[in-house]
Structure 1
Amino acid sequence: MTTSRSTYHHGELRQAVLAAALDVIAADGPGALSLRDLARRAGVSHAAPAHHFKDRTGLLTAIAAQGYDLLAAGLAGAPGLRERGVRYVRFAVEHPAHFQVMFQPDLLRADDPDLLAAKERASAELRTGVAGLTDVPDARTAGIAAWSLAHGFATLLLTRNVGGAIGDDDPEEYFRSLTGLLFSPQLDPHGGE
């Protein structure tokens, strides 16, 4: 859908381009992204998106930074590691385009300060969940195991590889069941509440 140039105010174009990019990525993946196409969709000159993002890599980096910020906000305050995993899965389901971009470092500017800061905020939230663990010989390895489970389940869910297996079950409840099967109750000292 093309929008008239007159509907955009200065400062809104950046967000409009990000939103259009997320729509393209959700529908066709990051490979389908083109600044020229996004400019057309926004009804602006083809140079306008480049003013905000420089190039496609800059746009994808901005999407990833935004995604890490959303993930950090979603993880904040979750009680226990299990619930942080549930919120991780929720984030992936609610923000599939961000999720696709965030974990493809070859698409991003790895040294971008906004990206690095956002990744650190999300990592700090994940580490907070691991910090509550007791009686584990190696908290770092436990954290990687928990992240692998949440990330793997979210990826399988988004790529529709577990849809038949979980049926109509709520993905978040299904994830809670998975963690109960594979990890001790100590991962969730608050009982999931």
Structure 2
Amino acid sequence: MEIIGVIIADDHIIFRKGLRTVLNEISFVKVLDEAFDGQDVMRVMKTNPADIILMDINMPGVNGIEATKRVKEKYPETEIIALTMHEEIGYFNKMIEAGAKGFLLKKTTKDQLATAIKNVFYGETYFSEEFVISTQQNTKILQTDVVISNREKDVLKLIAKGYSNVEIAEKLHLSKRTVDGHKARLFDKTGAKNAPNLIMFALKNGLL
């Protein structure tokens, strides 16, 4: 399997070192560097551009949300997996909008880390089971008694991967107008106000 280069971004050195130890046990992962805040992330990316950044959200100075925006703007091929605590669930929308493709709670296991890194590297999304449970406990429930067609599910999964309507149309061999219609119906059926809300709906209903 291809080796995946990873940067750890967190302001707590003990957590970084512990996470590095765990990552070193995953055969297809190579830890390229560590960073203590968002500005440091941009510095280390210049010399050690990574495939995946494990990004803490609440870092001092340039936080994980702003750092994710900057990374995705300058290094669009690099993917972000957010590292979060239970009380930080409210940052979900902002991190998704910034470009994160995965969420892990900091108490994650080695197997979850390995799965998340592999999935995100190969173009999927990853939200740990604990994170999904936590979102269900800490966020307002969207409409769940709705019928989503198979095609709408296809569109929803691609929205969760961060694809634009044009890209979704190309992948599903549909017109952009048709995709626009599917997306509008998804918003209407679920009561979602934006793409992160749609992703939350998908998580709560086992669609991702």
TM-based fold match above 0.5: no
Structure with more strand by fraction: 2
TM-score by length of 2: 0.29
Larger radius of gyration: 1
Structure with more helix by fraction: 1
Q: Which has the higher contact order (CA 8 A, sep 6+)?
A: 1
TM-score by length of 1: 0.30
